[in-house]
Amino acid sequence: MPELPEVETVVRMLRPRLEGRMLTGVHVGPRRLRVPWQRRWNARLIGRRLAHVQRRGKWIVIDLALPESGDALLVHLGMTGRLILAEVGAPTAPHTHAVFHLDDGKQELRFLDPRRFGLIRYLAAPERARLQSTAALGPEPWQLTTANLAAQLARTRRCLKAVLLDQRVLAGVGNIYADEALFEARLHPGRIARTLARQEVERLRCAVVRVLERAIRKHGSTILTFYYGDDEHGEYQNEFRVYGRQDQPCRRCRTPIAATRLAGRSTHYCPQCQPLP
């Protein structure tokens, strides 16, 4: 499933191509996505200008301009979702579930999703405000302070891997970047979160940011299905330290990378660099 770096990559690709344009038509196919499309949303969207394309956690939020400011088009890529700009009349790819016609009549925004775990929907201003708040979705990694993270860790008996996957604690981090950040911080993913000392909390917070920033520079990770733009793929998978590298030598110490299952997810770590106290 695309995580923060992959979603940020899509947002940065779409932003200059969509902002300021108007939606002039909507066509949604019959196959249901995670949230069924409601026909009444069409009238809420047609004639609205796309004001700003941004990311919140793993969500893409496309702000709609006046008359009703605060409304948005909300997208989640699920496991295999894609947003592409296509020329009108270009062949429609299989698994295209929604098409949004743009003002020049020459291009349209298409949402594809073979596995249909993603969603695309209209979001009214009050619902959008809840999504933007940290009450429903945790802070962005760059907004997270050491004090806030320490407080979150101190109140739970869960392991570090489980805490990093909790979107109420930290928005946008998933399985890949949790493993990579814990390796960067030299912390065992199975360690109980409340046992971390203050300097270890700071180390973890900085590691999350560094890993995400490196991944964004590489346009995320393409393992199976993540593509953006015109079939472009990410490159950060070539730099993984632990994720998906079971039995391969650690890039630091040459110890074979170990794998286990934590919080219901496959988890990779170096037994030497990330000892369990």
Q: Does the active-site annotation cover 127?
A: no
Q: Does the active-site annotation cover 3?
A: yes
Q: What is the rounded distance in angstroms from the CA atom of residue 17 to the CA atom of residue 27?
A: 20
Which residue is it, tokens 């039995």? 247
The tokens for 115 are: 């596995």
Q: Does the active-site annotation cover 180?
A: no
Q: Identify the active-site residue in 48, 58, 110, 191.
A: 58
Q: Identify the active-site residue in 21, 194, 251, 265.
A: 265
CA neighbor of 237 nearest in space, from 252, 215, 257, 255: 215
Q: Does the active-site annotation cover 189?
A: no
Which residue is it, tokens 């993603």? 118
Q: What is the rounded distance in angstroms from the CA atom of residue 252 to the CA atom of residue 249?
A: 8
Q: What is the rounded distance in angstroms from the CA atom of residue 247 to the CA atom of residue 78?
A: 29
Q: Identify the active-site residue in 2, 139, 141, 189.
A: 2
The tokens for 227 are: 């593509």
Q: What is the rounded distance in angstroms from the CA atom of residue 62 to the CA atom of residue 203?
A: 34
Q: What is the rounded distance in angstroms from the CA atom of residue 166 to the CA atom of residue 151?
A: 14
Q: What strands, in cross-sheet order, belong to the sheet with 50-56? A: 50-56, 59-64, 72-76, 119-123
Up-side HSE of residue 170: CA atoms within 13 Å toward CB?
A: 30
Q: What is the rounded distance in angstroms from the CA atom of residue 210 to the CA atom of residue 177?
A: 10
| Residues forming the active site | 2-3, 58, 265
